[in-house]
A and B are shown apart, each in its own frame.
Chain A
Amino acid sequence: MPDFSRIWDVLVIGGGNAALCAAVTARQAGCSVLLIEHAPKPMRGGNSRHTRNMRTMHPEPTKVLTESYLEDEYWDDLLRVTGGQTDENLARMTIRLTHDALPFMEACGVRFQPSLSGTLSLSRTNLFFLGGGKALVNAYFATAERLGIDILYDTEAVDLKMDDGFVREVVIDHRGFPETVRAKVVIASSGGFQANLEWLKDGWGEAAQNFLVRGTPYAQGKVLRNLLDQGIASVGDPSQCHAVAIDGRAPKYDGGIVTRLDCVPFSVVVNKHGQRFYDEGEDVWPKRYAIWGRLVAQQPDQVAYSIIDSKAERLFMPSVFPAIKADTVGELAVKLGLDPAAVEKTVAQFNAACVPGEFNGTRLDGCRTEGLDPPKTHWARPITDPPFIGYPLRPGITFTYLGVKVDETARVRMDDGRPCANLFASGEIMAGSILGKGYLAGFGMAIGTVFGRIAGREAAKNARN
Chain B
Amino acid sequence: MRETEATTEARRAMEVCNACRYCEGFCAVFPAMTMRREFSTGDLSYIANLCHNCKGCYYACQYAPPHPFNINVPQVLAQVRADTYEEYAWPGPLAGLFKRNGTVVSLVAAAGIALVLLLTMALVDHRVLYQPQVGPGAFYRVIPWWLMTTLAGGTFLFSILALVMGFRNFWRDTGGRADELTRGRPLMVALHDILTLKNLGGGGGGCNDRDEAFSQSRRRFHHAMFYGFLLCFASTSTATVYDHFLGLEAPYAFFSLPVQLGFWGGIGMVVGTAGLIWAKIVSDPAPAARNLLGADYALLVLLLLTASTGLLLLALRETGAMGVLLAVHLGIILALFLVIPYSKMVHGVYRSAALLRHALERHPTPPPPGTAPSDRALGSAA
Inter-subunit contact A138/B212 (CB<8 Å): yes
Query: Interface 1/0s, chain B 337-350, versus A by CB < 8 A?
Result: 00000000000000
Query: Interface 1/0s, chain A 28-65, versus B by CB < 8 A?
Result: 00000000000010110000011010000000000000
Given contacts A128-B25, A138-B212, A258-B19, is CB(A133)–CB(B62) below 8 Å? yes
B residues touching A (Cβ–Cβ < 8 Å)? 15-16, 19-26, 31, 34, 37, 56-57, 59-69, 203-205, 212-214
Residue A381 at the chain B interface, CB threshold 8 Å: no
In the complex, A254 Cα to B62 Cα: how many Å?
8
Given contacts A43-B66, A111-B204, A317-B19, is CB(A116)–CB(B24) below 8 Å? yes
Query: Interface 1/0s, chain A 107-119, versus B by CB < 8 A?
Result: 0010101101111
Residue A334 at the chain B interface, CB threshold 8 Å: no
Inter-subunit contact B20/A256 (CB<8 Å): yes
Given contacts A118-B34, A130-B26, A138-B212, is CB(A256)–CB(B63) below 8 Å? yes
Chain B residues with CB under 8 A of A114 = 25
Chain A interfacial residues counted at CB < 8 A: 34
Chain A residues with CB under 8 A of B62 = 49-50, 132-134, 254, 256-257
Closest 6 CB pairs of A and B: A131-B60, A113-B25, A132-B22, A258-B19, A135-B60, A320-B19
Inter-subunit contact B66/A42 (CB<8 Å): yes
Distance (Å) between the CB of B199 and the closest chain A CB?
14
In the complex, A117 Cα to B22 Cα: how many Å?
11
Distance (Å) between the CB of A41 and the closest chain B CB?
10
17 more A-B contacts (CB under 8 A) besides A114-B25, A318-B37? A43-B66, A49-B62, A109-B205, A116-B21, A116-B25, A118-B24, A119-B21, A130-B26, A130-B205, A131-B57, A131-B203, A132-B23, A134-B59, A251-B68, A254-B67, A254-B68, A257-B22
In the complex, A131 Cα to B204 Cα: how many Å?
12
In the complex, A380 Cα to B169 Cα: how many Å?
48
Chain A residues with CB under 8 A of B15 = 320
Distance (Å) between the CB of B29 and the closest chain A CB?
13
Inter-subunit contact B61/A130 (CB<8 Å): no
Given contacts A42-B66, A111-B204, A118-B34, is CB(A134)–CB(B60) below 8 Å? yes
Chain B residue with Cβ nearest A128:
B25
Main secondary structure of the interface of B (DSSP, over half): loop
Given contacts A117-B34, A131-B26, is CB(A138)–CB(B19) below 8 Å? no
Chain B residues with CB under 8 A of A109 = 205, 214
Please count the residue pairs between chain A and chain B whose beta carbons lie under 8 angstroms apart in the complex. Answer: 90
* Partner of B65 from A42, A119, A128, A318 at Cβ < 8 Å: A42
| Best-surrounded residue of B15, B22, B57, B213 (most CB of chain A within 10 A) | B22
Query: Interface 1/0s, chain A 230-243, versus B by CB < 8 A?
Result: 00000000000000
Distance (Å) between the CB of A403 and the closest chain B CB?
24
In the complex, A317 Cα to B203 Cα: how many Å?
25
Chain A residues with CB under 8 A of B26 = 130-131
Distance (Å) between the CB of A183 and the closest chain B CB?
27
Chain B residues with CB under 8 A of A113 = 24-25, 203
30 contacting pairs across A/B (C-beta < 8 A): A42-B64, A42-B66, A49-B62, A52-B22, A111-B203, A111-B204, A113-B24, A113-B203, A117-B31, A128-B25, A130-B25, A131-B22, A131-B23, A131-B57, A131-B59, A131-B60, A132-B20, A132-B23, A132-B62, A133-B62, A134-B59, A134-B61, A135-B59, A135-B60, A254-B68, A256-B63, A258-B20, A260-B19, A317-B19, A320-B15
Residue A319 at the chain B interface, CB threshold 8 Å: yes
Residue A372 at the chain B interface, CB threshold 8 Å: no
Residue A355 at the chain B interface, CB threshold 8 Å: no
* Partner of A131 from B31, B37, B56, B63 at Cβ < 8 Å: B56
